[in-house]
Structure 1
Amino acid sequence: MLTLHTAELLVPGPGSAPLPGGAVLVEGDRIARVGPYEELGAACPHARVRRWPGVLTPGLLARGADALLERTYYPDDPYEITELGAGPVTGAAALADLKMTEARWGNSARRGTQKLLARGVVAVSGRFTVPAVRTAVVRSGLTILPPAGDEGAPSPDPLPDFVRGDPRAGRESLERAFHGVLEPGAPARFAAFAVAGPDELLEQGPTTCVATVIGGRLLHRRR
């Protein structure tokens, strides 16, 4: 089935000019065409159309995600919220008190990957040493990449500077966060953010994500 994803602004990737009213035509797990919505819609009148507010961009890469998924525990809502609180549990002492098992790490990682998908993440990098965690990441649809040489020590906050609202973050920070480009033949993995443009995305971060697509499948949609 053909699916046409469109938004007010399409950002194909680093170094590419944004396209107002742009669209991505997906066939299976690949991008078939990229261009103006009116043009692609006329050429493929039977395609299913998904309209997203804001900006359509390549999905994001979360660097050092082993720290986020193997050294951070996500409480099971609602069963553990009263005891542990709603926020993630970090720190060696706190995790030791939880008496973590591999199975529990795997369950936590499944909840963690859902949080990543909800922020437009389509790929992660890191050294995953807990088999259940790696299995959870693979099953989520996220692509696993080896750590880049410039990543340094794993960080508990692996997303790029612009996510943290760092006032020093610039456009290069956002472009470094993209994984892949939106072009014909490329894997269909991208995200939509409810912002007016890249500058607003830098300012507000990926909590504005409204949809994440991986392999042509809609894996996250804000309700």
Structure 2
Amino acid sequence: MLTVHAAPLVLPVGVAAVAQGAVAVDGDRIVAVGPYDEVVAAHPAARVRQWPGVLTPGLRQWHAVWLLTRCYHPDPREADQLGDRPLWGEAFERLAGEMDAARRAGSVRRGLQQMLRHGTTHLAGRFHDPVVRTAVHRAGLTEVSAVAAPGILVGEPSLDPFAEGHDLPGSVHGPLAVGGRADLAVFDVPDEDALCAAGAGACIATVLGGRLVYRRR
């Protein structure tokens, strides 16, 4: 289905921002990026989704291997005991010894869901663990090379790709471009500076291969 995603500010990355912009998506591909009036006029039969804030390319999670293989993502039913943040280091090691395959697979799925809630569509690294590889494949996220990763993990691993001070070009998977895969994220902030300051926790929607896979209620 042809869909137009519109926002007060579209940040394609690599080219100028578009005020009152829009991205037209057909299937899993981007077919237009530009001013809202022009995009809608060129695609009059499209369904239109109006979003607040800024629309960007989907983000890249540089530390996905850490987050999915060396962290435990608690089930909401465990929140009273374990909290709601990823457990790593000694806390993870204590849990790992008593974790069966089903519990570990659940942690991986929840980690991926949390990444989608942070606008992430691409994961740096290669996943050799069958449990993780299968979950990533089913979720539809894209694995990309980690060769250009900005250094080793320092401190606590974060679900927020902006957490280590990266700017928008350093946090997205690549620019929005006609013919590219429709991986988008929407953030409830007024501009790029506010996005970098607020971080990916401001995400209100994630589009993965043209599918709306997360929408904040």
Whether TM-score is above 0.5 comes out as yes
Q: Secondary structure at the match of 1:21?
A: strand
Query: What SS is found at the alignment partner of 1:163?
Result: coil
- Gaps of at least 5 residues in structure 1 are none
Other-structure match for 2:210: 216
In the comparison of the two structures, how many residue pairs are matched?
215
- Whether the aligned pair in 2 keeps the contact of 1:211 and 1:220 (CA below 8 Å) is yes
Whichever residue aligns with residue 44 of structure 1, its letter is: H
Does 1:139 find its partner at 2:133?
A: no
SS at match of 1:3: strand
Q: 1:54 to 1:149 in 2, by over 3 A?
A: closer
1:125 aligns to what? 124
Partner SS state of residue 138, structure 1: helix
Q: What residue number does 1:202 align with? A: 196
For residue 81 of structure 2, what is the aligned residue in structure 1? 83
2:122 is paired with a residue of what secondary structure? strand
Give the distance between the partners of 1:178 and 1:88, measured in 2 at CA: 22
**Distance across 2 between alignment mates of 1:22 and 1:93:** 45
Matches within 5 A, 1:31-180: 31-78=30-77, 80-92=78-90, 94-98=92-96, 99-154=98-153, 156-157=156-157, 162-164=162-164, 169=165, 173-180=167-174
Shift of the 102–202 alpha-carbon distance from structure 1 to 2, 3 Å rule, reads same
Q: Which 4+ stretches in 1 moved above 6 angstroms?
A: none
Q: Contact conserved, 2:116 with 2:206, CA < 8 A, in 1?
A: yes
1:9–1:197 contact (8 Å) kept in structure 2: yes
SS in 1 for 2:52: strand
Question: Gaps spanning 5+ residues in structure 2: where?
Answer: none
Could you tell me how far 1:71 is from its partner in structure 2? 0.7
* CA gap 1:97/1:112 in 2 versus in 1, 3 angstroms: closer
Deviation at 1:92, TM superposition (A): 3.8
TM-score under structure 1 normalisation?
A: 0.88
Residue identity opposite 2:206 in structure 1: T
Question: How far apart are residue 43 of structure 1 and its match?
Answer: 2.3
| RMSD of aligned alpha carbons | 2.0
Relative to structure 1, the CA distance from residue 6 to residue 149 in structure 2 (aligned partners, 3 Å threshold; closer, same or farther) is closer
For the structure 1 residues 94 and 70, does the alpha-carbon distance in structure 2 shift closer, same or farther, using more than 3 Å as the test?
closer
